[in-house]
């Protein structure tokens, strides 16, 4: 999906919500555990319930990998289901990959050829040649870690160099020589509040994937105030806050309610922004 198509989806559906599919078998409702593939059954119900309110889905590979082959089968089925039934939803493989060139090339092959997804999250520590192989695919996106939502983001990402430039700023600047706003987004955690101003000074146009609203405590209003652009420029993710909103047989309805709530808040923010 290209940038124009993504922006079109956002303004048509009045939402920039991304639903994170961090499906943990220990947290899904009891009655699903007798299904042949409980993870897929859960995902399918969540997707059907939330699709009207979001523009993107973000399966988190860690959760699928942790169940071995069974987990990866559930991942593949989820992807196929999304592609067949919701082809206008943007799919993000949340995988945080990144390695030397010939290895990153294999990861790019995995997510962009084997699974044919729209985008993958990539870690910047190993630099340009670890990111470039992902950028060589037409119509596909790298979502590069810049300033993450967790406590550990302070350990290295905020380190200032001699000129006062922080590591996440260097990542934002250098990587703009590798990709463009058409194939490169950044992860910026919602918990970083006013840092969005600093981010937008360096990357005024790039889309930002924003985790950390909800369970991690970030504020949607603050993210929009400092991070939204005329093209929206945001994909705000919620995982646990939506998919585990309910624990009973009505879990999908509870997820839909939570997603619709967020969509409604997002519609207000989109209306507020000048287009």
Q: Which residues are catalytic?
A: 96
User: Torsion-angle region of residue 116: left (phi > 0), alpha (psi -120 to 50) or beta?
Assistant: left
Alpha carbons within 13 angstroms on the beta-carbon side of residue 169 total: 16
SS (H, E, C) 39-82: HHHHHHHHHHHHHHHCCEEEEEHHHHHCCHHHHHHHHHHHHHHH
Distance CA 188, CA 239 (A): 15
Distance CA 44, CA 40 (A): 6
**Least distance from a copy of itself to the Cβ atom of residue 113, Å:** 8
Stretch that binds a copy of itself, among 30-38, 72-80, 217-225, 262-270 (CB under 8 A): 72-80
Q: Tell me the three state secondary structure of residue 62.
A: helix
Q: Residues 6 or more apart from 95 whose CB is under 8 A from it?
A: 61, 107, 111, 120, 121
Q: Binding to a copy of itself (CB under 8 A): which residues in 180-209?
A: none
**Least distance from a copy of itself to the Cβ atom of residue 230, Å:** 30
By CB under 8 A, is residue 179 in contact with a copy of itself? Answer: no
Among 269, 264, 265, 209, smallest CA distance to 239 is for 209
Taking CB under 8 A as the criterion, the residue among 4, 5, 52, 62 binding a copy of itself is 62
Nearer to a copy of itself, 114 or 136 (CB): 114
Total residues binding a copy of itself (CB under 8 A): 60
Taking CB under 8 A as the criterion, the residue among 30, 36, 69, 138 binding a copy of itself is 69
By CB under 8 A, is residue 274 in contact with a copy of itself? Answer: no
Tell me 113's DSSP state: I
Taking CB under 8 A as the criterion, the residue among 13, 44, 58, 97 binding a copy of itself is 97
Stretch that binds a copy of itself, among 10-18, 107-115, 245-253, 254-262 (CB under 8 A): 107-115
Binding site for a copy of itself (CB under 8 A): 22, 24, 60, 62-63, 65-69, 72-73, 76, 94, 96-104, 106-107, 109-110, 113-115, 123-131, 145, 148-157, 159-162, 167, 170-171, 174, 211, 216
């Amino acid at each position: 999906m290209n940038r124009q198509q993504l922006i079109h989806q956002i303004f048509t559906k009045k939402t920039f919500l991304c639903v994170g599919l961090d499906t943990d078998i220990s947290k899904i409702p009891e009655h699903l555990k007798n299904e042949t593939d409980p993870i897929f059954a859960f995902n399918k119900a969540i997707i059907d319930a939330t699709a009207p309110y979001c523009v993107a889905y973000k399966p988190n590979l860690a959760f699928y990998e942790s169940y071995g082959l069974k987990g990866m089968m559930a991942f593949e089925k989820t992807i196929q289901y999304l592609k067949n039934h919701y082809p206008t939803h943007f799919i993000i493989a949340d995988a945080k990959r990144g390695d030397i060139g010939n290895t990153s090339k294999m990861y790019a092959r995995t997510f962009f050829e084997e699974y044919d997804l729209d985008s993958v999250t990539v870690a910047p520590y190993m630099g340009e040649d670890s990111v470039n192989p992902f950028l060589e695919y037409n119509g596909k996106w790298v979502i590069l870690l810049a300033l993450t939502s967790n406590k550990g983001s302070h350990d290295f990402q905020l380190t200032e160099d001699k000129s006062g430039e922080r590591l996440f700023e260097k990542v934002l600047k250098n990587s703009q020589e590798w990709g463009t706003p058409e194939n490169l987004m950044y992860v910026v955690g919602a918990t970083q509040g006013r840092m969005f101003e600093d981010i937008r000074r360096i990357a005024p146009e790039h889309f930002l994937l924003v985790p950390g609203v909800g369970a991690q405590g970030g504020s949607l209003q603050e993210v929009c105030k400092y991070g939204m652009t005329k093209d929206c420029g945001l994909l705000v993710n919620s995982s646990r806050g939506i998919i585990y909103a309910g624990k009973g047989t009505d879990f999908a309805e509870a997820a839909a309610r939570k997603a619709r709530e967020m969509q409604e808040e997002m519609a207000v923010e989109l209306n507020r922004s000048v287009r």
